[in-house]
Amino acid sequence: MAEAALPGARLERRDALLGLALIAPTVLVLGAVIVYPLLSAIYLSLFSLYTPTLEGHWVGLANYRAVFGSSGFWSALATTAVWTVGTLTLQVLFGLAMALLLHQNILFRSLARSLVLFPYFLSTVVAVLVWRWLFNDLYGVVNHALMAAGIIDAPVSWLGTMPNAMLSIIVVGAWKFFPFVVIAILARLQTIPEALYEAARIDGAGPVSRFFDITLPQLRDVLTIVILLRTVWDFKEFDLIYLMTGGGPVNGTRTLPLIVYQQAFGLNQMGLAAAHAVAMMLVMLVFMLAYLRRAGGRVA
Amino acid sequence: MADRAEPGRLALNAPATRRTALRLLAGAGAAAGLGLTAGCASDDGRRTLRWWSPQAAPDQVKMYRAQIAAFEAGNPGVRVVFEPTSDEGYPAQLAAAFAAKQVPNLVTHLPSFTAQNYYARGLLEPVDDVARAIGEQRFFPGANDIYRTGDGTLCAVGIGNTAVDMFWYRKDLLQKAGLSAPPATWDELREACRRMQGGGVYGAALPYGMNGMTSLIFIGFIHRAGGQLFSPDLEVAIDSPATYDALEFFKSMREYCPAGASNFSWGESLTAFVSGATATGIYGGRVLANVAAQNPGIAGAISCTTYPTMSREIPAWTFNDFPCLFIPKGAPHLAETKAFAASLFAPPLYIDQLHAAPGHVLPTLQTIAADPAYLANPLIARYPAEIDLMTRTAAAGHNLGQETAKHRPNLKASEIISSNTIAELVQRVVLDGEAPRPAVAATAARLRELMRG
Amino acid sequence: MTNRQRPALIASLVTWPLVLLIAFPLLWMLLTSVKPQAELFTTPPDFLPNAITFEHYRRVLEETAFLQYFRNSLVVAVSTTVLVVVVAVLGAYSLVRFAYRGRELLASLVLFTYLLPSVVLISPLYLMLVKLGLANTLASLVAAYTSFALPYALWLLRSFMAGIPEDLEAAAMVDGASRMGAFVDVVLPQALPGIISTALFSFILAWNEYLYALVLVNSDEARPLTTGVMTMLISAFNIEWSLLMAASVMMSVPLIVIFAFFQKYLTSGFGAGGVKG
């Protein structure tokens, strides 16, 4: 970021009071709405509670011992990691590619951009129902089309076997959420000055080197943030996986959020659920800190 | 009522741009809208009763409103509000409602074991007087036994029955396969499926997914092999020859079910039979309505019977989730609530309510089941034998909450189903090919853990 | 990257098939919603309907409270978006252009609040809202959704604003504008693409959220589309497919149309002050 060329025009950074006033609303909203439930949840994790009444007894760290001592937690953590990395990679790659394409002056561009956002608009519950229908081996279009094209000769169970189930949720997850990446990158692409490209063209740079030398560096900040935000969000994703496969087959797609939900409302163990949730949070915190440190000053 | 930060702090910025001004207007409009649409109770002095049910399809809600209107007409000063909940969402909703002491006045169409669970935690009112108001002798014999609690009271009243795992079959396909009667034992069933499978049609639509349906259905099969999950005193009894027989059977049926059965839940299994893709199905009365709407071509060829058991000596066992009516403790206007609850069972409007899901929600009252107005429904009139069989079978049905008449109520039934322990057992042995003995032993240990809870 | 005047034909030929593939489920939903029920589950699947009916749309609009749910969702989503954008824009500006103690810590804490899976927050949040008398109102949803969207919005906007060079604001201030005046006249227009992205994302979050809407709101008067449509049409034993497809199309298509209109603001970001050179 270039420093100002005008002498003495450096923005005064010591208007600390104004700065604090501007961030106060954020702190206020979050403090009022989230902080109390957040601390409550952490507090609840020290108890054994029956969810409908939130009554129970103190167990201290016993919930955490149960969480970290169970193989279920660690295998679910691995599953969650596989899911997150898989779907995030696809989301970023497709998102980037799509944003670059939609940045061009293509025909009916407005319509194309809106249609691309469609997966993101659609409610997850409906999206999963539709995809389950499309994947169905009896009357689903996916199998039918693949058989008609000769790629397979018998219907495939997309959701009932591994690794199909994991691949299916990764692909559907990517389809559902990649528009978020598209929006963010497209917005950033608009602010890259045309002059930079013109200068590079004059210098004889081809499209590929223009991409790597101009576009990508300009996108780096947005990409850094988008990857961070999407990682957290994908890691926590519950609706999609629960409705698509229920965690099956045989826990092959059982991620940590599914365990949290099952503990909280299936098994009515709110304390244990909270302990799982806090454990999840710690994992994400470690990632977030490591990531931010590596991303260094690129964030702001 | 609004307790949120007002956008007044925007005075910091001069409203320089049209955009900002437009946004302010939108915000103000929304604020007005929020205030207007706050869903508070009516202020006209009437007592408000809230009624929750997950059976909230448009046809059913229409009938509920008729019943509400009739009650309000007869009881000025009382207002009833119907609030739909969902089969997936009610655990979270009710948990929050109980924890915040914001409970609805009555809840209908939830399974019996849910009611037992809540009652055991002191969250429900006993409803013996509601049953008396309806007329206890009008119920099918023993219809409300499953709601009897440890202290002898009724925690809920049955508002409908569903024979969830009837054996549906295609008469035309049976005939084509050279069979004159539907199978009655597992061997006959396997043979029938083998003969009927082919030409794009599968034999059966059994579930093998990681979900509640698989657990609930498989429990039925353990019983059809002569076994049980728990002894009458609720000791874990799953490690028995019957369980291994059931697993063996389920495994052998896998080849007669579509490839996607490993992810089947209720919707897929139902649609598989209704669409004609399978020759047999396992479901409740909803089949009739769906066939009439979605595949009328086979409407004349479908019929149902109780699901085949392992051998002729073993009696049939049908799963009925016993959709019930219960009254949470702590809701206001208890007397009016109980009066309203009883009114829901009064013909003719109760009949209309049942007709909204014909064959699927069956009457719990013998008087209704024999009522000509009830029987006059076109769907019910078309399949009288099937409806009659389902009604009787459901009334004599069971579920994990009470596996046989001799069993004590199992208060952990809903947690056991939610834990997917049984579905996991099925998947491990049938899909992954794990050895049955260690898998069953692990399942038994997990069940013990859940019972200790 | 290419000459803006000439339409990029090659890019169009590559892009449009991809777009259609991505939007294929929408097409399929549309086709299914106009099919009579008898055509739903034919094997092999029939792509095009043999008979077209608008019966399902009629039923959803006339026999259910769909329009009321739609209005509720709209109010909640718009309110959330407005709140989030306003609060996050101010906060992001603060993080990017000011220096004060604890700035980085504050930013990290803001994100930290969203690391906890929201499932375990439901009961405590609901209890809190009941105590405040806000249970069962649209305001409770706006409060919850604003706090979910805020950490993301803040960080996203911060990234966009960081990319805006300071010399324009400095120039404006040299010309006599106040700090906040420069913010409104210079920074906001430049940050418009980022603001639009944030607004879009907040709107969609509020529009599609299900679990909290389920628990926080029980009465039909305040019920939004997600829970309204789902609880009506989806139960464990039965799914009203045709009605569901009709309702889902009606939930999605208006958004697509509106955003086709708005997305041109995504491109009108620069030009305000000329960052060329």
* CB nearest to A195's CB, from C88, C150, C276: C276
Q: Is 80 exceeded by the pLDDT of residue A9? A: no
Chains in contact with A, where contact means 3 or more Cβ–Cβ distances below 8 Å, are B, C
Domains in chain A and their CATH numbers?
A: 71-253 (1.10.3720.10)
Q: What is the mean pLDDT of residues C41-64?
A: 87
Is C230's Cβ below 8 Å from some Cβ in B?
yes
Determine the 3-state secondary structure of A56 from DSSP.
strand
Which tokens go with B144?
């409300």
* C-beta of residue B394 within 8 angstroms of C-beta of residue B362: yes
Q: What is the pLDDT of residues B317-363, one digit of tens each?
A: 999 999 999 999 999 999 999 999 999 999 889 999 999 888 899 99
* CB nearest to A264's CB, from C120, C144, C263: C120
Helical axes A216-236 vs A71-103, angle rounded to 10°: 140
Contacts A20 to B, Cβ<8 Å: none
Domains in chain B and their CATH numbers?
A: 47-162+321-395 (3.40.190.10), 166-319+419-452 (3.40.190.10)
Is C180's Cβ below 8 Å from some Cβ in B?
yes
Gap between the Cα atoms of C69 and C58, Å rounded: 16
Q: Is 90 exceeded by the pLDDT of residue A141? A: no
Report long-range pairs for C141-144 (Cβ below 8 Å, ≥24 apart).
Answer: C141/C76, C141/C80, C141/C206, C141/C209, C141/C212, C141/C213, C141/C216, C141/C217, C141/C222, C141/C224, C142/B4, C142/B34, C142/C76, C142/C79, C142/C80, C142/C83, C142/C206, C143/A32, C143/A33, C143/B3, C143/B4, C144/A33, C144/C212, C144/C216
Nearest partner of C78 among B35, A111, B25, judged by Cα: B25
Which C residues, 104 through 123, put their C-beta within 8 Å of a C-beta on chain B?
122-123
Nearest partner of A4 among C94, C172, C173, C170, judged by Cα: C170
Q: What is the pLDDT of residues C200-250, one digit of tens each?
A: 889 989 998 988 998 999 888 899 999 988 888 887 778 888 999 999 999
Q: What is the mean pLDDT of residues C246-256?
A: 87
Cβ contact C120–A277 (<8 Å): yes
Residue identified by tokens 């437009």 is B22
How confident is the model at residue A283, as a pLDDT?
92
How confident is the model at residue C178, as a pLDDT?
84
Side by side, the strands of the sheet bearing B166-170 are: B280-283, B166-170, B302-305
Q: Is 70 exceeded by the pLDDT of residue A7? A: no
Is B184's Cβ below 8 Å from some Cβ in C?
no
Q: Is 60 exceeded by the pLDDT of residue C3? A: no
Q: Is 60 exceeded by the pLDDT of residue B7? A: no
Residues of B with CB under 8 A from a CB of A: 5, 9, 12, 91-92, 94-95, 98-99, 118, 121, 123, 208-211, 258-263, 265, 268, 271-272, 275, 277, 415, 418-420, 423-424, 427-428, 431-432, 450, 453
Q: What is the pLDDT of residues B129-153, one digit of tens each?
A: 999 999 989 999 888 889 999 888 9
How confident is the model at residue A15, as a pLDDT?
73
Q: What is the mean pLDDT of residues B179-205?
A: 94
Q: What is the pLDDT of residues C141-161, one digit of tens each?
A: 999 999 999 998 998 898 888
Q: Is 50 exceeded by the pLDDT of residue C55? A: yes
pLDDT band for position A179 (cuts 50, 70, 90): very high
Determine the 3-state secondary structure of B406 from DSSP.
coil
ipTM of the assembly?
0.86
The contacts of residue B396 (CB under 8 Å, 6+ apart) are B142, B318
Is C260's Cβ below 8 Å from some Cβ in A?
yes
Q: Is 90 exceeded by the pLDDT of residue B191? A: yes
C257 burial via Cβ count (<10 Å: 0-12, 13-18, 19+): exposed
Q: What proportion of chain C, given as a percentage, has pLDDT over 70?
A: 93
Q: What is the mean pLDDT of residues B301-314?
A: 96
The contacts of residue B136 (CB under 8 Å, 6+ apart) are B144
Cβ contact B13–C137 (<8 Å): no
Gap between the Cα atoms of B272 and B256, Å rounded: 13
Gap between the Cα atoms of B195 and B192, Å rounded: 5
Domains in chain C and their CATH numbers?
A: 1-53 (no CATH), 65-266 (1.10.3720.10)
pTM of this prediction?
A: 0.88
Other Cβ atoms less than 10 A from the Cβ of C237: the count is 22
Cβ contact C256–A115 (<8 Å): yes
Residue identified by tokens 């809208």 is B33
Q: What is the mean pLDDT of residues A75-91?
A: 97
Q: What is the mean pLDDT of residues A48-52?
A: 91
How confident is the model at residue A4, as a pLDDT?
43
Q: How far is B431 from chain A (nearest CA, A)?
A: 8
The residue of A183, A216, A228 whose CB has the most chain C CBs within 10 angstroms, and thus the best one to mutate to test that interface, is: A183
Q: Which residue from C minimizes the CA distance to A148?
A: C44
Which tokens go with B112?
């019996």
Cβ contact C243–B62 (<8 Å): no
How confident is the model at residue A299, as a pLDDT?
52
Cβ contact A37–C90 (<8 Å): no
Other Cβ atoms less than 10 A from the Cβ of B157: the count is 27
Cβ contact A110–C115 (<8 Å): no
Cβ contact C90–A180 (<8 Å): no
Gap between the Cα atoms of A133 and C41, Å rounded: 10
